[in-house]
Amino acid sequence: MVLNKPQDFTIELLDGGRYRLHSEAGVCTFSNPSTVHGLAKLYTLSDAGALFYVGISKQPMSTRLNFGFKASGKGGYHGYKWKGLKQRLALSVWTAKIGGKPAPLREMETVEAEVAFRCREKSGQWPAYQHEIHFYPSLLGHRTAAQRIYGHALSRRD
């Protein structure tokens, strides 16, 4: 597994389930690969050196975030636990390749679980706003990717 360079943003949570993205260039919107439907993406939210959440999606990131912000419990899903925070968070979006092809969702879910586990192992706690996690047998490549992602999340200061 080869991780692609992450797309790094700051996400500012606004009232009514809205948000504003910032990049080094200022206010922005998502761009490729975050906008690609069907491409497995792993994303982390962190603040002040702590991992808050790690998630996975094949939807465009704007679609996934909107769903998580606007969910109200219908069908049992209440949305993101962190949707009520009133602070800027560091958001990183990762994609990967295996054998030169985009990594399948199951492979990225395995990395997602390893990132959450790494958080538990290093900090003593699971990510503070984690909903659920899917565990699958992992290989060294999954764990190595998770180590890089976790370290990147902790280094973000937004």
- Domains of the chain: total: 1
Q: Is 141 helix (H, G, I), strand (E, B) or coil?
A: helix
Contacts of 35 (CB under 8 A, 6+ apart): 60, 61, 62
Q: Domain range holding 81?
A: 2-155
Q: What is the pLDDT of residue 158?
A: 60
Cα–Cα distance, 2 to 13 (Å, whole number): 31
Reported pTM: 0.94
Could you tell me how many residues make up the chain?
158
Cα–Cα distance, 98 to 57 (Å, whole number): 17
Stretches where the chain sits below pLDDT 70 are 158
Q: What is the pLDDT of residue 72?
A: 83
Q: What is the pLDDT of residue 79?
A: 87
Cβ atoms < 10 Å from Cβ of 25: 6
Q: What is the pLDDT of residue 74?
A: 85
Q: What is the pLDDT of residue 6?
A: 97
Tokens of 124: 């003593």
